[in-house]
Structure 1
């Protein structure tokens, strides 16, 4: 170590001015977005290597570059940047990236031929069309919020293969087709709101009349579903129940309308934990006998992952925690883990809850594969998820492309 402090005691110099290891030349360094107008139209070579470009479009702010600079900003910005990278890896993968497994070379160069698998019999073009199967679990507050529009975009464009949410996540989507949810304030007093017939979800307000409209819409449908059960032998599960509601609402602003139209399964193991449960309870007095089979749906949900055999891959996008998070992760346990995983949540792991658990805990259970590179970002999903989607699924010229018809 070279130092001008020759008069310092050696023990002090060692403690305070100990020599650093040399960082690799290509090590990423911290650099955020530069809002100042660039001196020239091109970024320096060091900026380009670091991935934190400062170029503007037409002299204004380049929001694509701003979002890309998250990766080298540090703290949760870097975690969000890593989530974006992981989702793009998820979108980029194709079965054609994997070697065919029909032959294996033994010692001495002799080939050992196996019975070809179904995937090995596909043409190169067919293999290039097979992509990651993406599971998305999200909490109910996200359809209450404006993240509903982001989820609707994903469902409309068939970008997610399997959804899972809670009862609130289902009903709030349909309720918004019938009436509006409003901006309120976290500090509004519950007692005052109760007297006014207003329900508070964080800083959102939902008039009680919205739930009355939901009841008026849902009750006749429950009568029809019971009639079909009794007369036609229709076997209802939570997912088929949700699909039926999606078709009945017939509203293009609805997440679950698009799921129904595009045959995207939606699982909700806690279907009764919300207004839908209230309606089913009330219906049991008026017209009892409707059966919704949860056991059938746990088979359906687990098969969504179990039947995706290696080398095919699955990916998890988990927004928030609770039952939706665990249901998607546990389904992937049936295939020995998801290959890609992104968690986005404000929950922490100090209390041992599954909601706050980091992805590495899921690795210990076999819900994420040993060689995966999962990422968790500690961020409110109303901020983080639209930003993530803007640089992944919705990125112009990005890695997601529609499947061939």
Structure 2
């Protein structure tokens, strides 16, 4: 009798101390149960519906509060019942979704007792996956090609397996070649290609690529130029749109540069505001011209190429950047801080934001006057424009390269001209 009282008291304490967990567990059971119930509106046998999932959720929640041994017993009991249900219905319904949904409800209800918010979120995700059976099946079987699945797996392996294994420390005497950073660029090139591919298939060529280009520019405008350039070789009909996407990527990169200056050297940003605004305006106009031309094209391809990116393209780009970084570090070791501007411009050939951060740091610490720093920013944009224009010719077709090069040249010239005016006026 005393043992019964202790168990009852323990259950009362559990119910009193975690009402949110119990309510969350019940909500998860009802939500998943409703979705499972609606999948059998055609009259087929329901493995577990609203009431079953709700009852299982309550049982798991109470068991989690009573202790690990009780929870293990409940999980085993649900597993046995799910197995018995599968043995009975496997002839007409060989799938395991209903049985697994029952186990998921059990585990999420138990999790809700210690982390209600996470359990609730996973419950919603599970319900969405169950509800989206037909769209997901159509996506996996009809929409996505085998080549695209291969590319997605390659991208995931590159980002989640290879990248964590690479060292975060430099492997050269000058401390500039960091394998993890170089591989990140390879991943970015592949990700830009995948992002453009998805956007192209989702909203069409005319607007999908520009949207993808703008957002990819916050990661790497260099990778964007390379990725969209490669697409024009495969699909010449997308040349104007891809060029606009590459220029919008550089527009986003310029916005990020402004953010770096605002953080590291606000005084330099104030005196460079008009030159940077002129550079941004030149890029925006050049991108708009490409979008206008795309409207005049007689047709655009309805389906993109099955391949989202090429790994060799990213590897080649990383190798070129590694050479530039080593060269700039070697020159800096020879000429010291006096060659900071030249070194920064060389770095800008490979990485604009790293070069801008160095100029901003030198300006903030007094290593460069504001006037010299202003010209340094203009020089960085010119250096970056040269490098990306060359990359556009290497990666894309001739029309893409000319459009991108003209837009980047307009950016650099506008920045330099307004910088000269600001310096003279000051």
Taking structure 2 as the reference length, what is the TM-score of the superposition? 0.23
- Give the number of the structure whose alpha-carbon radius of gyration is greater: 2
Structure (1 or 2) with the greater helix fraction: 2
More contact order relative to length (CA 8 Å, sep ≥ 6):
1
